[in-house]
C-alpha cells in the first residue's frame, strides 16, 4: 500500500515546463515532460509541443514515438492544413489506467470510477450500515466491485484507489487516528486489510484535505493559493492549502480543528470520548441540541432544522444562530493564525452559508477585528470523492508512466 502526501494537480510553484538536461535520464525526462503536458493542457501537434517544452522537433518525435508505443498517448489527424497534409495531433490516452475515488463517511459511501483524465465512468452512493472496521472494509470492497461492474471493468483494472475518510492515517500502525465517528477505524492493521481486499495500489487521505483539493481544482477556490476549507457535518475538519499545496503538519494532523478547546462539552459527555470539544458543539448533533433547547418538537435532524430555518421558523433560526456563534470561534482562529484569502465552507452543515453568514458575521464582530472572506463550497457532498479522483489520477498517471515505459523498453 502506498500513502503519498497530497499535492494539487494545479501547482503554481515553479516553472510548468522545462527541457530535461541530465544526459543519463534525457529520454525518460523528455517523455515525462510531454506526457504531463498532454494531460495538463490537452492535445497538441509536434510543433506546439516542441515550443511549449523548449525541445527540438527530432527530440519530440522520438519521445512521442516511445509514448505511443507504450499506449500512453494516441495520435490522430488534425484539421486539414492550407497546404500539404494535416498535422498529426497527439493526445493523452485516458484509457491507459483507471482510478477509483471513495469517500467513506459515517452515513454514506460515495464512489466514483474515472479514467486518467478524471472523466466519470461510473458512480454510486451506498448507505454505511457497518458497525465496525471489518464490516466497513468489506462494505467498501463490495461497493467498489459493483461500481467497477457498472463501468464494465473488473477489480484488476483499477490502477489506483484513493480513499478519503475522517482522521489521519498512522503509517506505523495502519489505523486512522482522530476518526471518532467511524467505529473501529483506529484499529491497527486497517490499512493492510483495505489493501488486501481492494488492492495494493491504494492511498488513504483525510477527507477535508481531499475536499480542499477538489475545490482548488474544480470549485470555489479556483485561482486561490492560500485558503482554508472548513467542513461541518457529522464531524468537523479543515483542509489547509498554503502556497497552492495541501498543508498537513508534521504528523498529518494539521486541520483537526475538532480538537480545538472551544465551547463547553455537553452534559453527560464521557471523559473517554474520542470527539474533540469543538466538534461536540458545532457538528450536526449539536444543531439538533440547539433546536431542541429552542423549543422545536419531534424527531429532528440537522438538515431538517436548516430546512425549517429557511421557512422562517423562529426556533430553527435561533438554533442556526447558536450554531453560528460557536462556528465564529473557529473562523476567528483560522483568520488569526493563517490570514487566508478565503475560508470555504462545506459539508452538510457548512453548505448552508446563506443562513449561517448573518449571525456568524455578527458574532465575529464581537470577538475579532478581522473580516475573513467566507465562501460557500461549490461541490457540495461530492467534494471529497471528487478530490479523491483528482488525487487518484495524479498517482495513477505516475504508475502507468513507469510501468508502461518499462514494459515497452
Q: Helix %, strand %, coil % for the chain, to 5?
A: 45, 20, 35
Q: Domain 23-95 carries which CATH code? A: 1.10.10.10
Please give the average per-residue pLDDT across 84-90, as a whole number.
78
Mean of the per-residue pLDDT values of the chain: 89
Task: Provide the pLDDT for residue 269.
Answer: 57
Please check whether residue 255 is in contact with residue 209, taking contact to mean a CB–CB distance below 8 angstroms.
yes
Indicate if the pLDDT at residue 120 is higher than 60: yes
Please give the average per-residue pLDDT across 107-125, as a whole number.
97
Q: Domain 223-377 carries which CATH code? A: 3.30.420.40
Task: Provide the pLDDT for residue 183.
Answer: 87
Architecture of the domain made up of 96-210+383-408: 2-Layer Sandwich (3.30)
Using DSSP, state whether 91 is helix, strand or coil. Answer: strand
User: 26-41 and 57-69 helices cross at what angle (nearest 10)?
Assistant: 80
User: Domain-by-domain residue ranges, the chain?
Assistant: 23-95, 96-210+383-408, 223-377
d(CA 341, CA 344): 10
Task: Provide the pLDDT for residue 24.
Answer: 43
What does the pLDDT look like over 158-177, one tens digit per residue? 999 999 999 999 888 888 99
Residue for grid cell 493564525: 337
Indicate if the pLDDT at residue 20 is higher than 80: no
Which carries the bigger pLDDT value, residue 261 or residue 24? Answer: 261
Please check whether residue 6 is in contact with residue 246, taking contact to mean a CB–CB distance below 8 angstroms.
yes
Residue 332 corresponds to which cell in the numbers above?
A: 476567528
Task: Provide the pLDDT for residue 79.
Answer: 63
% of residues, the chain, pLDDT over 70 = 89
Indicate if the pLDDT at residue 34 is higher than 80: yes
- Identical fold for domains 96-210+383-408 and 223-377, yes or no, is yes
User: Per residue in 198-227, is it b (16+ CB within 10 Å) or e — as a string?
Assistant: bbebbbbbbbbbbbbbbbbbbbbbeebbbb
Task: Provide the pLDDT for residue 14.
Answer: 41
Residues in the chain: 409
Task: Provide the pLDDT for residue 263.
Answer: 77
Sign of dihedral through CA atoms 6, 9, 14, 17?
positive
Indicate if the pLDDT at residue 21 is higher than 90: no
Task: Provide the pLDDT for residue 172.
Answer: 85
Please check whether residue 85 is in contact with residue 105, taking contact to mean a CB–CB distance below 8 angstroms.
no
Give 272's contacts (C-beta < 8 A, 6+ positions apart).
Answer: none
Distance set, CA 177 to CA 16, 63, 185, 278 (Å): 36, 45, 8, 17
Task: Provide the pLDDT for residue 68.
Answer: 94
Amino acid at each position: 500500500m502506498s500513502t503519498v502526501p497530497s499535492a494539487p494537480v494545479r501547482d503554481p510553484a515553479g516553472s510548468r515546463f522545462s527541457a530535461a538536461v541530465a544526459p543519463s535520464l534525457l529520454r525518460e525526462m523528455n517523455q515525462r515532460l510531454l506526457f504531463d503536458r498532454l494531460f495538463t493542457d490537452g492535445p497538441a501537434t509536434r510543433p506546439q509541443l516542441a515550443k511549449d517544452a523548449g525541445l527540438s522537433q527530432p527530440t519530440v518525435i522520438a519521445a512521442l514515438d516511445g509514448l505511443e508505443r507504450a499506449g500512453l498517448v494516441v495520435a490522430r489527424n488534425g484539421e486539414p492544413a492550407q497546404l500539404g497534409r494535416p498535422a498529426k495531433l497527439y493526445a493523452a490516452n485516458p484509457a491507459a489506467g483507471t482510478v477509483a475515488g471513495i469517500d467513506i463517511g459515517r452515513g454514506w459511501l460515495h464512489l466514483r470510477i474515472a479514467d486518467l483524465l478524471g472523466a466519470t465512468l461510473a458512480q454510486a452512493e451506498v448507505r454505511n450500515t457497518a458497525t465496525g472496521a471489518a464490516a466497513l472494509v468489506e462494505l467498501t470492497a463490495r461497493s467498489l466491485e459493483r461500481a467497477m461492474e457498472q463501468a464494465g471493468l473488473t477489480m484488476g483494472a483499477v490502477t489506483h484507489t484513493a480513499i478519503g475518510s475522517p482522521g489521519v492515517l498512522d503509517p506505523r500502525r495502519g489505523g486512522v487516528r482522530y476518526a471518532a465517528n467511524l467505529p473501529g477505524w483506529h484499529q491497527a492493521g486497517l490499512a493492510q486489510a483495505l489493501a488486501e481486499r481492494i488492492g495494493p495500489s491504494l492511498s488513504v487521505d483525510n477527507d477535508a484535505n481531499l475536499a480542499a483539493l477538489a475545490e482548488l481544482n474544480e470549485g470555489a477556490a479556483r485561482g486561490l493559493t492560500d485558503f482554508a476549507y472548513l467542513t461541518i457535518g457529522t464531524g468537523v475538519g479543515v483542509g489547509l492549502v498554503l502556497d497552492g499545496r495541501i498543508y498537513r503538519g508534521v504528523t498529518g494532523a494539521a486541520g483537526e480543528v475538532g480538537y480545538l478547546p472551544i465551547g463547553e462539552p455537553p452534559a453527560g459527555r464521557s471523559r473517554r470520548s474520542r470527539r474533540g470539544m469543538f466538534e461536540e458543539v458545532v457538528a450536526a448533533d449539536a444543531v439538533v441540541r440547539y433546536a431542541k433547547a429552542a423549543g422545536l418538537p419531534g424527531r429532528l435532524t440537522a438538515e431538517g432544522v436548516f430546512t425549517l430555518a429557511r421557512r422562517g421558523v423562529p426556533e430553527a433560526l435561533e438554533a442556526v444562530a447558536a450554531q453560528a456563534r460557536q462556528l465564529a470561534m473557529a473562523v476567528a482562529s483560522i483568520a488569526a493564525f493563517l490570514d487566508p484569502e478565503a475560508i470555504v465552507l462545506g459539508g452538510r452543515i457548512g453548505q448552508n452559508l446563506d443562513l449561517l453568514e448573518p449571525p456568524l458575521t455578527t458574532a465575529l464582530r464581537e470577538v475579532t477585528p478581522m473580516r475573513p472572506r467566507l465562501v460557500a463550497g461549490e461541490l457540495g457532498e461530492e467534494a471529497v470523492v471528487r478530490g479523491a479522483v483528482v488525487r487518484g489520477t495524479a498517482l495513477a498517471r505516475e504508475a502507468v508512466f513507469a510501468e508502461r515505459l518499462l514494459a515497452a523498453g
